[in-house]
Structure 1
Amino acid sequence: MDAAISILRAAENPEPETKAFYRQVLDILNDSGVPFLVGGAYAFNRYTGINRHTRDLDIFIRRADFDKISDALRMQGHATELTFPHWLGKVRFGDVYIDLIFSSGNGIAEVDDLWFDYAVDANVHGVDVKICPAEEMIWSKAFIMERERFDGADIIHLLNACGDKLDWARLLRRFGSHWRVLMSHLVLFGFAYPSARHVVPPPVMTELIDRLRNETVSPSPEHSICLGTLLSREQYLKDIEQEGLQDGRITPLGNMTPEDTAIWTEAIQEHHKPH
């Protein structure tokens, strides 16, 4: 029950109507039988004990299940939308909304079966649910490096709270060829918490340092590529649009299509509008 109480506090006691909306949607999803996970501030609080105000509820689903979940919600009077076809949908209740997430904004952290295989039991607003695994949270958050949002501190707190229990082999596999991103966060973790450096297994750091050493003395790629767009949808647009570098988000380098990136880029202006 302590975890349930803690997770409830993560939302700083939302308004009764908002709480009722959250609970109704969670109940509908449980009744539908379609797997889903709770993430965001609720999962972060479950692992770290850190309370944070949140404007919404993050639900993680498989892309293949979006239509089934939409149908289940519509049958109970809730309209859904596929906001960004490559990673995100929403269900709204007035000014309140729930995100239906099946990947990440850069198309990298796709929700697959492993998210559910390693999910953790929790209770959110009185409803029994599963929450995202810490490893997948670290993976998806690691690439968020916008001017207005940087999730590095979240990762450092997750490492501090869960590092001795993480499946490090799976985490390394998740990052794959993007291992430099993971390494950068692990280096910062050791800086933020010097006395907890041991939480990161020495073989993991040795492996990453060896990769860095080998790559440093290897020839650079022949093609002009910018992987910065995996970290920020806005801050590397000049490199793509004016300098002609190949966009690391777009297939075959990444998982997005030119249409996906165009929609995602167009939304930047809407994001910066005053609310």
Structure 2
Amino acid sequence: MQTTISNQEHDIDPDTMDFYRRVLETLNESGMPFLVGGAYAFNHYTGVNRQTRDLDLFICRRDYERISQVLLPAGFETELTFPHWLGKIRFRDTYIDLIFSSGNAIAEVDDAWFDHAIDAEVMGIPTKFCPVEEMIWSKAFIMERERFDGADVIHLLLTRAEEMDWQRLLDRFEPHWRILLSHFILFGFIYPAHRNLIPTWIMDNLLERLEHEVHTDPPETDICQGTLLSREQYLTDIHQQGLKDGRIMPFGNMTPKDTKRWTDAIAGDHDPN
């Protein structure tokens, strides 16, 4: 299936455009590894004309401090907004996200992101886009009340199925294979004439796991993994019902301090001002 690359820059004011370009050029000159994701990569892969005023850069966590040092002489300050997944490059009232994991700390950026990235150009500057498999992996868990990235996952599957590394995609979702299966089931519902784009072997693999699990006793630990999908909608299960939080070690990759900081930020995100 053919895709087109939309022109996303016309809606960005000149000062912001200059900020984005200068950051990309500075990072290129320094040789620091980074990938462009978000709407720029999504539009390229799917041809969906989604306008954006944001720039998302994906980096390895180990590179955050060095990137900060590279940007400082160019006049750009960074902050480690959420230590478990997100930093920001600030310039006046504008910022660029530096992403090194997902909000649930599952989709961590590692070397494989860069090994499978594709060459691209953003605002006339050579760069690389996040691999489609990793984009699906990170988006598949976003099921907030105010944001659901399932349609993004479905469109990426529709447009990139023929070139997908399905085994690598499956490996990324271990041990959260039920999330991947749920999106595959929705894909067949949304695009019944294209359901064969999902390889039979991977559907058989996941359905066999499901059948085995259905006939197996459930785990003894009363855990809620809904917090991996939404940082807010399952808090009552944790705080009122006493279930274990699926984000926190040893079940997940976050610490209690990480989850508290991530939860405390909800109020600010809901502030209409």
How many residues were matched structurally? 271
The corresponding residue for 1:106 is 104
Matches within 5 A, 1:116-135: 116-135=114-133
For residue 252 of structure 1, the aligned residue among 244, 250, 253 is: 250
- Deviation at residue 12 of structure 1 after TM alignment: 4.5
Distance 2:229 2:71 in 1: 33
Once residues 104 and 59 of structure 1 are traced to their aligned partners in structure 2, the CA distance between those partners, rounded to angstroms, is 13
Give SS of 1:177's match.
Answer: coil
Partner of 2:49: 51
Alpha-carbon distance, 1:228 to partner: 0.3
Q: Structure 2 counterpart of 1:142, which letter?
A: A
The whole-number CA distance in structure 2 between the counterparts of 1:11 and 1:228 is 36
Q: Corresponding residue for 2:163?
A: 165
Counterpart of 1:69 in structure 2 is 67
In the TM superposition, what is the alpha-carbon distance from 1:94 to its structure 2 partner? 2.6
Q: Counterpart of 1:222?
A: 220
- Decide whether the 8 Å contact of 1:26 with 1:127 is kept in 2: yes
Give 1:23-62 correspondences, 5 Å limit: 23-62=21-60
Whole-Å separation in 2 of the counterparts to 1:223 and 1:148:
30
Deviation (angstroms), 1:51? 1.5
Q: What code does the residue aligned with 1:165 have? A: E
Distance in 2 of aligned mates of 1:96 and 1:247: 34
Residues 61-103 of structure 1, C-alpha deviation per residue, up to 9 Å, x if partnerless?
A: 0000000111111111111100000000001223321000000
Q: Give 1:130-141 correspondences, 5 Å limit.
A: 130-141=128-139
Structure-1 residue corresponding to 2:5: 6
**How big is the shift at 1:60?**
0.1
Residue in 2 that maps onto 1:208: 206
User: What residue number does 1:178 align with?
Assistant: 176
Q: Which amino acid aligns with 1:136?
A: E
Deviation by residue 1:84-138 (Cα, 9 ceiling, x = unmatched): 0000000122332100000000000000000000001110001000000000000
Q: State the AA in 2 paired with 1:54.
A: T
Distance in 2 separating the partners of 1:97 and 1:49: 26
State percent identity of aligned pairs.
62
Do the aligned residues in 1 keep the contact of 2:228 with 2:246 (CA within 8 Å)? yes
The alpha carbon displacement at 1:32 in A equals 1.2
Q: 2:118 touches 2:130 (CA, 8 Å); kept in 1? A: yes
- Aligned 8 A contact 2:247 2:253 in 1: yes
Shift of 1:39: 0.1
| Per-residue CA distance 1:155-189 (angstroms, 9 max, x = gap) | 00000000111100000000001000000001111
Structure 1 unaligned residues grouped into runs of 5+: none
Give unmatched runs, 5+ long, in structure 2: none
Letter of the 1:45 partner, please give it.
N
Residue 240 of structure 1 aligns with an amino acid whose one-letter code is I
RMSD, aligned α-carbons: 1.2
Distance (whole Å) between structure 2 residues aligned to residue 104 and residue 153 of structure 1: 18
Equivalent in 95, 98, 101 of residue 97 of structure 1: 95
1:96 and 1:52 mapped to 2: Cα distance? 20
Counterpart secondary structure, 2:174: helix
Deviates more, 1:53-62 or 1:257-266: 53-62
Partner AA of 2:205 in structure 1: E
Contact 2:9 2:123 in 1 (8 A): no
Cα separation, 1, equivalents of 2:100 and 2:10: 26
SS in 2 for 1:34: coil
Q: Distance in 2 between matches of 1:243 and 1:99?
A: 35
Question: Residues of 2 paired with 1:74 and 1:226: CA distance?
Answer: 42
Cα distance in 1 for residues equivalent to 2:97 and 2:53: 10
SS in structure 1 opposite 2:88?
A: strand
Match runs of 1:75-90 below 5 Å: 75-90=73-88
TM-score (norm 1): 0.96
Does the aligned pair in 2 maintain the 1:12–1:52 contact within 8 Å? no
